[in-house]
Structure 1
Amino acid sequence: MKIEVKNVSKSYRHKEALKNISFTIEGPKIIGFLGHNGAGKTTFLNLLSGLIATTNGNITVNGENVFNVPLTLRDICFVAESGNFQEEMTIAQTLRANSFFYPKWDENLAMELLEVFALNPKDKVRSLSKGMVSALGIITGFASNAGITIFDEPYIGLDVAARNTFYDLLIEQQTENPRLFILSTHLIDEASKLFEEILILHEGQILLQKTAEEWYEHIVAVKGSASDVEQVIRGLEVIYKHTFMQELTAIVFAGGQSIEGQNIMLERVSLQDMLVYLSKQQKARAIK
């Protein structure tokens, strides 16, 4: 599967949620689609799923537009954070309805996962806890067998054991039935080891797109006085910069280059740390 995003913008009245973004994703692989609240993640996922139209630009899957093209959309399963199911339907009716939409639906897997998550097919959606609704979304996503399967905060209300079950299932499904999984989550420390590629959205723009290997081997934080840091990072790809108490922190993509200099400190940067930095930056701008 190949997703191509070309010069895509999306505006809501006076707010520009996405600002002329362009990138390409190819699978099968597991993509970590990350960003702080309000970064534009859910807007993009709604666009990719054909639920809304772009203001400008276009999104294609294997060369076909996603908006208003039913054949393309039948190979995209978007499990949103909420609002996925009709509350008056039972679990069995919900799964049955989904089986008609997704041509590669795996009924045996759906029944197996009902037992894994201890869901009663006769229960109505409105009677389910948040965790049970999340489990129903997870079952739908995996059983859809869609070439592009999107999970947006898929485990709200699930405990650690259930979340670990989701991670195990994700690995199992990617091994047995490879596809392009896109996972958007705030539980980054838990999920980060699953990601094969990382895409970070920040204030409606693509901040970074790297493979997991590139991130863990070449992303580094350089700390020190502004003059010292600016000198050693010259010529490197700078992802983020922040000044606090006269200390400059620059997160850079070293790309195998050695970073050396006096009075500087180098630190590895986790994905969780990166999102914390961006969140602090956003709040600081809001205060100003």
Structure 2
Amino acid sequence: MSTTINSPDALVSARDFTLRYGRKVACDHLTFQIPKGRVVGLLGHNGAGKTSLMKAMVGLQAGEGELRVLGVDPRQQRTELLKGLSYIPDVAVLPRWARVHELVTLMGGLQPQFSAERARALLKRTSVGLNDKVKSLSKGMVTQLHLALIAAIDTRLMILDEPTLGLDVISRKSFYEMLIDEWCDGERTVVISTHQVEEIESLLSDVMMLDEGKLVLNISLEEMDSRFVALAHDPAAADTVARAHPLLRYRQQGRSAALFDGEPPADVQALGQRFRPSLVDLFVALTRKPELQPREA
């Protein structure tokens, strides 16, 4: 993704954006843009700045520098912002006493762009009934209900902060299937923060990685595949491969492997077999300190 701010297609634009909590810098001089029609994975370890950035995008945190979301200042023009933005935080909070049909009615009164008909249609994809009480639902069902209510609002941008935290594999899969099938349409954009990197890689069009508040990668998956090279090699070639300064040395399906930013030297390529690096491997390579990386035996 380009870093040009105020592009006509940009739903989110930041330039030199910094967010601090006292002396701690949560977001460190970030410059990026997020166009329309994208599914963006926002990745980073705990404390990397993901939630702080998302809260800034929805107008809950103020920072320094420039941040525009849907063409407005999210902090100063929050009422205008919320006409085109949906947000699901890491904890889905719904009134436990309410029945599902009551929440559908309530949303219709609170949000002019909410479609009760669409919410009911989305709920048919789940095991949640209109007469169910929230307190009777499992955590996975509450998350599905929350998504159905939010996805029934006609917005251009959805921000999800660890939306499937604590759910089992089947519930997570159902959540993402409904999100992609029912909300993403080539014009809308969704930004997803998650620790389940391997589960969402196939859904993403772009990835942004934060490490200690800094943006260490901002790239489309297509660009990622052409830029980064992984090489599986025999242990005997480990020293030669290491001298080529890979980003990461690790094991892949029982074999020694190395990950490079760009094409490794021809003599090194000749020592192994190329394969596509996973997003998880790249995440490890770019967001952990070199001294923590295990050395080859």
Pair in the same fold by TM > 0.5: yes
- CA deviations on 1:9-62 (whole Å, 9 max, x unpaired) are 1222342211111111111121111122221111111110112222x1231124
Residue 66 (structure 1) aligned with residue 74 (structure 2): yes
- 2:152 is paired with a residue whose SS is helix
Residue 212 (structure 1) aligned with residue 221 (structure 2): yes
- CA deviations on 1:237-259 (whole Å, 9 max, x unpaired) are xxx4679xxxxx874442xx564
In the alignment, the residues of structure 2 paired with residue 131 and residue 62 of structure 1 have an alpha-carbon distance, to the nearest angstrom, of 31
CA shift, 1:209, in A, is 0.9
Within the candidate set 18, 21, 33, 2:27 is matched to: 18
Q: Describe how 1:29-48 pairs up with structure 2 within 5 A.
A: 29-48=38-57
Verify the 8 A CA contact 1:76 1:146 in the aligned structure 2: yes
Identity %: 27
TM-score for both structures, normalised by structure 2: 0.77
Distance 1:164 1:6, change over 3 A: same
What's 2:253 paired with? none
TM-score for both structures, normalised by structure 1: 0.79
Q: Can you give the 5+ residue segments of structure 1 that lack an aligned partner in the other structure?
A: 234-239, 244-248
In the alignment, the residues of structure 1 paired with residue 176 and residue 56 of structure 2 have an alpha-carbon distance, to the nearest angstrom, of 26
- 2:289 is paired with a residue whose SS is helix
- 2:51 is paired with a residue whose SS is helix
What's 2:243 paired with? 228
Verify the 8 A CA contact 1:36 1:278 in the aligned structure 2: no
- 1:81 is paired with a residue whose SS is coil
CA shift, 1:110, in A, is 0.9
CA shift, 1:64, in A, is 1.2
Within the candidate set 111, 114, 124, 1:115 is matched to: 124
Distance 1:126 1:82, change over 3 A: same
- 1:155 is paired with a residue whose SS is coil
Within the candidate set 245, 259, 273, 2:281 is matched to: 273
Verify the 8 A CA contact 1:110 1:139 in the aligned structure 2: yes
CA shift, 1:192, in A, is 0.8
Q: Describe how 1:153-164 pairs up with structure 2 within 5 A.
A: 153-164=162-173
What's 1:236 paired with? none
What's 1:8 paired with? 17
What is the alpha-carbon root mean square deviation over aligned residues?
A: 3.2
CA shift, 1:212, in A, is 1.1
CA shift, 1:270, in A, is 0.6
